Amino acid sequence: MNSELEEARETLENSLTLSLQIFPKRHVKIAKIYEALGSMYLDLEEYEEALKMSQECFEICNDLFKNPSSQTISCMKMLGSIYSEKGDYEKAKCTFDKSFELAQVLFGEKHPMIADIYFRIASIFEEQSDYSEAIKSLEKALEIYQGVYGSEPNCNVSAIYNNMGVLL
């Protein structure tokens, strides 16, 4: 592991240690640190640690919020990404589908978080060589992003066009 990643890990772990002294274990600040740790471990390809941190984030959010929250959905998307990276596409798809349902309740049909979930689902279809379903998911994501951002340049739209170009 390079020194920058080691420093990031130490910083996040210090943040968690200090925050646990300040806040109760079931606090949104603690959940966000677990989410950041999960993301860092995912980047390091330490999937079991990433899963552990992201599950802790999800459990805290479930305890804190009686209704779906953007934080809960974000934790679920992270879990789906970890399952996908581990090659457990069925579990990833199931997790993304659940996060999609919750996001629809919270945000409606035409929200960037919905588009992001479509984008993540497309990557699962791509990994399973189901390119027509991947394209359909990317098209749905593109439609939402274009509706939200119009003709403004957007990195999400660019990524979708890139992925569609690779798949076509």
Q: What would the mean pLDDT of 41-66 be, rounded to a whole number?
A: 93
Specify the pTM.
0.89
pLDDT of residue 1: 57
Distance CA 117, CA 110 (A): 12
Cα atoms in the 13 Å half-sphere on the side-chain side of 31: 22
**Residues 6 or more apart from 123 whose CB is under 8 A from it?**
84, 134, 163
Output 59 or 2, whichever has higher pLDDT: 59
Q: How far apart are CA 87 and CA 91, in angstroms?
A: 9
pLDDT in tens, 66-97: 888 999 999 999 999 999 999 999 999 999 99
Which amino acid appears at position 1 of this protein?
M
User: Which tokens go with 15?
Assistant: 């943040």
Question: In the structure encoding, which two tokens stand for residue 45, read together?
Answer: 């390809």
* Structure-block tokens of residue 152: 């403004």
Model confidence pLDDT, tens digit, residues 93-111? 999 999 999 999 999 999 9
Express each pLDDT in 126-168 by its tens digit: 999 999 999 999 999 999 999 999 888 889 999 999 999 999 8
